[in-house]
Amino acid sequence: MEVTRQNFKEVLPEVCNAIQEADFISIDGEFTGISDGPSVSALTNGLDTPEERYTKLRKHSMNFLLFQFGICTFRYEQNQSTYITKAFNFYIFPKPFSRTSPDIKFICQSSSIDFLASQGFDFNKVFRSGIAYLTREEESQLREQYEDRRGQMNGAGPVSYTPPSGGGACSVPEDQRDFIRSVEQKVDSLLNGSDQTLDLEPCTGSDSLIIIMYNRSHLNMSVHTLSLCVCVRFQRKLIYQTLNSKFPKLHVETLETEKKERFIQISKVDDEERRRREQQKQQREQEELNDAVGFSRVIRAISKSGKLVVGHNMLLDVMHTIHQFCAPLPEELDDFKEVAMSVFPRLLDTKLMASTQPFKEIIGNTSLAELHKQLREKPFRSPVTECPEGLRSYDTSTEQLHEAGYDAFITGLCFISMANYLGTFLTPPKSHISARSKLIEPFYNKLFLMRVIDIPYLNMSGPDLQPKRDHVLYVTFPKEWKTSDLYQLFSAFGNIQVSWIDDTSAFVSLSQTEQVQIAMNTSRYAESYRIQTYAEYLQGRQKNTSSRRWAADGWADTPYSADASRLHGVKRSISPSLEEQNHYSDSSWTHYSSGKKMKTDGGSSQTYVNVADSEASCDWPRLQPEGGASVSPVHEMAEPEKASANQSQGKRSRKHKKRNSDASETTPPTLFDVPKVW
């Protein structure tokens, strides 16, 4: 269903009901651009740390506008083995609803706009009918301004202008006296005639324009912040002040034409009618303010529900959603994680899911369109879906890629197909795996990191992987150098990989760690370039940043976190996963060991044991680091008492475990530790 400013009020209750009834929610966003500076390859360097990637995206991507947002809710009907889907395609545009509301500035990237245009994107619908939005802070400020205006008008009788500061009424300047005198004459004619209302012509500010021109030609640039609209507002202020003083029985109100021209309407009314009109005005202002909150209400409904939110390669979607509809992104990555988890307690990235075992060996291309195609073929099964009557149903046979609602829909289908595939490893196999299953939890709150060689995901609920990168060198050189110069410099070391940082620096990955010291020795007396080990590079960066200490529960101890729940109105409702593997050097970052699930008691509780050399056994997905011990999955149908005991034991053990994010000082834990939530 397409949702614009015209039908948003009508559709909003249905959207909120769909969110509350859903088993999970899939999302997708379309943006006006990706990067305002570096190329995409530079923005996504293969050797970025999670902190560096977040900093670059925050700096170079947040000035673009998320202007189409797709949501699709999925609810499973057990009796029919069918998913009920409700897809909504929202057009978003930050239209100022009043002169005091935020006037948002955003940028566009020509390549992104050209691409969306080639896909049939309707830009007119965005700009003409896009739904407004406000962050909580912006909404709070506007409501305070509204209450201040009401307080100023209460007890003053008619609606009148009250100076925002400084108290008393100002005198009429010499150059405005003729203007005010003409207004008074018109009001006298109204009072002496039979007409009930008088519409003053929109203030053009032509007299004030002369003042501005004079100032611009005689004063310095600090005065140039004056504008025509300020002078027009000043004339309206003088009108309100004069009429309130000389004609207290009149009702005065500022209205707006279809062409956005503001004019003053003066009416002859009695006290009862004046109060009625004042109430109508207050109701209208409240409705306008609620309309201005707009699409942010949808994000708040998703956040409040605590439902699993599924996306595809969704890091930018999450960042834009928080930045645009909740609050400006914090500078530090750990603060961002805290805020993100307070807004979306459970996230799942289908691109990351498809990039891990057991899917990694079956799925060759993880782009959304190709992933959806592959998941409709064996060994996967496409879910059966049904759309309620009256709602738009997407047809996957006619692709509508890059329409956010459609992309959200097929993202949800991909998640269901992969989740159900995991059920084939159970004994007996299960054809339906719910979004609350223990089998899904290893993928919670881990967002895919594009093009990072050895850190495949951003861990939103704890510290990130920290590979040693002993084979990597940090090289600085003259701006004139090209990739060929770096290959020539390191020609003696065989195959290398170059990852550019900027015009004068790059990472060079050697094929063997033993070659690093040789390279350092040979460059000791070089004048045109400088080589550092990756460890030295990190030390240099850390000198300029404060160290971050992780608390015992795996959350960063940060002053920002105290305000996160208050900012977004949601308390974090999910336990963080345990500490991740801190050392990993191979891009093939996970694999599964053989295992078989067996019922040991004939009941619903299942125990998983390794079965060696068994041809009949199926491979159970066990995420583990290279060379490490395999990790048994959490029981799919664990007994409540046992699950509760495990939770308590886990909490006690975590309290006595000192957490340290330094990879060199910790024993590498398992790659995926499942948070004990359900």
pLDDT tens column, 37-47: 877 777 888 89
What SS3 class is residue 607?
strand
pLDDT at residue 350 above 80?
yes
pLDDT at residue 140 above 80?
yes
pLDDT tens column, 286-312: 888 888 899 999 999 999 999 999 999
pLDDT confidence of residue 678: 26
What is the Cα–Cα distance from 562 to 580, expressed in whole angstroms? 24
Q: What percent of the chain has pLDDT over 70?
A: 72
pLDDT confidence of residue 558: 43
200 vs 414, residue with greater confidence: 414
pLDDT confidence of residue 228: 47
pLDDT confidence of residue 638: 36
Q: Please classify residue 565 by burial: count the beta carbons closer than 10 Å to its beta carbon, then call 0-12 exposed, 13-18 middle and 19+ buried.
A: middle
Given pLDDT bands bounded at 50, 70 and 90, which one contains residue 540? confident
pLDDT confidence of residue 160: 38
pLDDT confidence of residue 142: 87
pLDDT confidence of residue 671: 36
pLDDT tens column, 523-538: 888 889 999 999 999 8
Taking phi over 0 as left and psi of -120 to 50 as alpha, with beta for the rest, 188 belongs to alpha
520, two tokens: 């350092």
What is the Cα–Cα distance from 440 to 676, expressed in whole angstroms? 12
362, two tokens: 């079956």
pLDDT at residue 210 above 70?
no
What SS3 class is residue 668?
coil
pLDDT confidence of residue 283: 82
pLDDT tens column, 366-387: 999 999 999 999 999 999 999 9
587 vs 51, residue with greater confidence: 51
Given pLDDT bands bounded at 50, 70 and 90, which one contains residue 665? very low
Kindly report the average pLDDT of the chain as a whole number: 76
pLDDT confidence of residue 153: 54
Pick from 455, 459, 447: nearest CA to 353? 447
What SS3 class is residue 213?
helix
646, two tokens: 């495990």
What is the Cα–Cα distance from 564 to 610, expressed in whole angstroms? 43
**For residue 594, how far is the Cα from the chain centroid?**
38
Q: What percent of the chain has pLDDT over 90?
A: 45
Q: Give the other-Cβ count within 10 Å of 408's Cβ.
A: 28
Lowest mean per-residue pLDDT among 243-252, 338-347, 598-607: 598-607
40, two tokens: 């995409």
pLDDT tens column, 95-127: 887 777 788 899 999 999 999 999 999 999 999
With beta carbons less than 8 A apart as the criterion, state whether 190 and 252 touch.
no
Cis link prior to 50 (omega < 30° from 0)? no
pLDDT at residue 633 above 50?
no
pTM of the model: 0.71
pLDDT tens column, 501-528: 888 999 999 989 999 999 998 888 888 9
pLDDT at residue 666 above 90?
no
According to DSSP, residue 423 is labeled G
What is the Cα–Cα distance from 289 to 293, expressed in whole angstroms? 7
Residue 447 forms beta bridges with which residues? Answer: 458
Q: What residue type is 479 in one-letter code?
A: K
620 vs 281, residue with greater confidence: 281
pLDDT confidence of residue 232: 67
pLDDT at residue 470 above 60?
yes
Pick from 116, 122, 144, 137: nearest CA to 31? 116
pLDDT at residue 134 above 90?
yes
Strands 250-256 and 262-268: antiparallel
pLDDT confidence of residue 545: 58
Range picked from 276-280, 455-459, 617-621 for highest mean pLDDT? 455-459
Lowest mean per-residue pLDDT among 42-46, 226-230, 354-358, 395-399: 226-230
pLDDT confidence of residue 183: 87
Lowest mean per-residue pLDDT among 39-43, 77-81, 467-471: 39-43
With beta carbons less than 8 A apart as the criterion, state whether 130 and 93 touch.
yes
pLDDT confidence of residue 476: 95
Average pLDDT of the residues in 18-27: 97
Residue 253 forms beta bridges with which residues? Answer: 265
pLDDT confidence of residue 212: 38
pLDDT confidence of residue 644: 40
Q: Extract the runs of DSSP E, i.e. beta strands, from 435-574.
A: 446-448, 457-459, 472-476, 496-502, 505-510, 530-533
Lowest mean per-residue pLDDT among 23-27, 404-408, 589-593, 641-645: 589-593
